[in-house]
Homo-oligomer: A and B are copies of this chain.
Amino acid sequence: MSQQLRQRLFAELDALVLIDPHSHINPHEPASTTLADILGYHYYTELAHSAGMAKEQIEEAGLEPREKVRRLIAQLGPIDNTIQYSWFVEMAQSLLGYEKESVEASDADQLFDLAEAKMAAPDWAATVLRQSKIEAVFLTNDFDDPLEGFNTQVYIPCLRTDDLVFHLAKAEVRERLERAVGESVTSREDLGRAIGVLFQHFTAKGARACAISLPPDFTPAPVSAGRADVAIEAVLSKGLAASESDRKATSHWVFWKLAEFCAEFKLPFDLMIGVNRGVYAAGVHQGRDLYDSRVSLIQYRDLFNAFPQVTFPVSVLASVTNQELTSYAWIFPNVVTNGHWWYSNTPAYIEHDLAARLEAVPRTKQIGYYSDMYKLEFGLPKFAMYKRLLAKVLAERFVIDRNWSEERAVGFGRQVLRGNVESIFGIGES
């Protein structure tokens, strides 16, 4: 009975057309061209590597897509239990017309050909979006992205700021910034002005969010103008040779400045909290980051208090931080729960975390899900996973446990899936 109920709720939720509020899509090549683009996704390469496949096998220079696919498919057996494997199979079935329940080494060539034929269609990206019932996708744009040559109604720009906050000491980042704004940047004033130019550029192109990922030990704090003058000048002139203290002060100042511009330009500031970069140094591309789950939103207390006019959609990397996120969103008007990120984007954690949010955070302040995808083909299976879990939690914890009508449960689900994305990011507003 509960399973049929879940099925009915899922069917209703699955009928919605969605906006994906966070992805890593390249709008110039949004969809895959071969199956190697799909299996090259770090979820497959890192899991295959973790299960014993040599990194050199995966990242060999000049490796042909077909051969890469053969190699990876031959190594999927040890990971065929994972939810990530199920995304791959569901994608192949739904978008490529693949019919089996599993993918064996002997299927590699056939599947590669199937994919190649489909992906060669000139409207493949549009087809994928339509079949995935996704009408627009947020991007993750470098701060110096010209944001040209694509439809920003479908591919919505988002200003990603990790480089500015954490890597300004690298000559290359400073130079990219100077080129982007067409001016030299050697002082605090220059830097502030340059960041302002970026915000003008991005919002003029329809950006709907500023975003950043943050390590577990980061604690935002304002920096006095005097201290910032010294620190920023040191960082901009000495680069990586600047002191740790000056680099930290610069990071803090830039972060705080971003929040000020988010206020001025009325952009939500997506905070993705908790990642340590490069923990497994010998890992495959994008398969090196992990975390320390000992992080607290109390670290963001001053920020949330200082910027009541800025909306902070917050993602946390570890499920053990989800209760804090739930509580902070319940108390702070400007804190919003945002999706299920990375290592928490698996069913057991989504279910646990989602249940806690649905029952304690105002319904207007929950962004249900984003795909985080690099290629459009992953939107369908990832959102499908989430919608099934949303249907499960609504069925078990609202319809059954709390006696809600199915209609009411579906209405709540719709808001979390779609309505809040529109209202929080101002989609549809000019």
Which residues of A are interface residues toward B (Cβ below 8 A)? 3, 46-47, 49-52, 78-84, 86, 276, 279-283, 287-288, 290-294, 296-298, 301, 304-305, 308, 318-321, 323-324, 326-333, 343-344, 346-349, 352, 355-356, 358-365, 388, 392, 397, 400-402, 412
Q: Known interface pairs A49-B333, A86-B402, A397-B347. Does A324 touch B362 (Cβ–Cβ under 8 Å)?
A: no
Among A47, A323, A326, A328, the one with the most B-chain Cβ atoms within 10 Å of its Cβ is A323
Contact between chains at A330 and B47 (CB < 8 Å): yes
Q: Known interface pairs A323-B349, A392-B401. Does A50 touch B331 (Cβ–Cβ under 8 Å)?
A: yes
**A340 and B147 alpha carbons, distance in the complex (Å):** 50
Contact between chains at A280 and B298 (CB < 8 Å): no
Chain B hits for A332, CB < 8 A: 50, 280
CB distance from A343 to the nearest CB of B (A): 4
Given contacts A291-B327, A326-B343, 15 further A-B contacts (CB under 8 A): A47-B330, A49-B333, A50-B365, A52-B364, A78-B362, A83-B360, A84-B360, A290-B297, A318-B324, A323-B343, A346-B356, A347-B359, A348-B355, A348-B356, A388-B401
Chain B hits for A400, CB < 8 A: 3
**A348 and B3 alpha carbons, distance in the complex (Å):** 20
Chain B hits for A352, CB < 8 A: 348, 352
**A86 and B398 alpha carbons, distance in the complex (Å):** 11
**A318 and B330 alpha carbons, distance in the complex (Å):** 14
Name the residue of chain B whose CB is nearest to the CB of A281: B305
CB distance from A73 to the nearest CB of B (A): 15
Q: Known interface pairs A3-B400, A280-B305. Does A362 touch B47 (Cβ–Cβ under 8 Å)?
A: yes
Chain B hits for A80, CB < 8 A: 363
Contact between chains at A301 and B329 (CB < 8 Å): no
Contact between chains at B305 and A298 (CB < 8 Å): no
**A346 and B354 alpha carbons, distance in the complex (Å):** 13
**A230 and B67 alpha carbons, distance in the complex (Å):** 54
Contact between chains at B363 and A331 (CB < 8 Å): no
Contact between chains at B331 and A46 (CB < 8 Å): yes
**A34 and B343 alpha carbons, distance in the complex (Å):** 48
Contact between chains at A290 and B363 (CB < 8 Å): no
CB distance from A268 to the nearest CB of B (A): 15
CB distance from A221 to the nearest CB of B (A): 15
Chain B hits for A294, CB < 8 A: 294, 296
Name the residue of chain B whose CB is nearest to the CB of A305: B281
Chain B hits for A79, CB < 8 A: 362-363
CB distance from A10 to the nearest CB of B (A): 11
Contact between chains at B323 and A318 (CB < 8 Å): yes
